[in-house]
């Protein structure tokens, strides 16, 4: 698209300079209407809901129950010998 508009380097530089001026003017117009960016006030910041660290119930259920299920079994001496050999 730019190739069809600009045939040499000087035209390209002029095109880029004009685009930058247009963008700067649009930015200026937005600031004139809405004002410049400012940080939140305390009241506005308190209205924003921030997600903190959420707890993962599935993970804690696994670590508290399924993970220890095999370790709580009662073994007799024969079973312990078989486990040690493996």
DSSP string, the chain: -HHHH-SSHHHHHHHHHHHHHHHHHHHHHHHHHH----PPPHHHHHHS----PPP-HHHHHIIIIIHHHTTTS---HHHHHHHHH-
pTM of the predicted model as reported, rounded to 2 decimal places: 0.41
Q: What is the pLDDT of residues 7-59, one digit of tens each?
A: 889 999 999 999 999 999 999 999 999 888 888 899 998 898 877 666 656 55
| Residue 12 falls in which region: left (phi positive, over 0), alpha (psi -120 to 50) or beta | alpha
């Amino acid at each position: 698209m730019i190739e069809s508009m600009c045939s040499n380097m000087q035209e390209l530089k002029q095109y880029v300079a004009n685009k930058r001026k247009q963008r700067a003017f649009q930015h200026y117009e937005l600031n004139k209407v809405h004002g410049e960016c400012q940080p939140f006030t305390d009241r506005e910041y308190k209205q924003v809901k921030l997600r903190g660290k959420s707890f993962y119930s599935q993970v804690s259920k696994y670590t508290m129950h399924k993970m220890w299920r095999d370790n709580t079994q009662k073994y007799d001496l024969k079973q312990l010998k078989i486990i040690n050999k493996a």
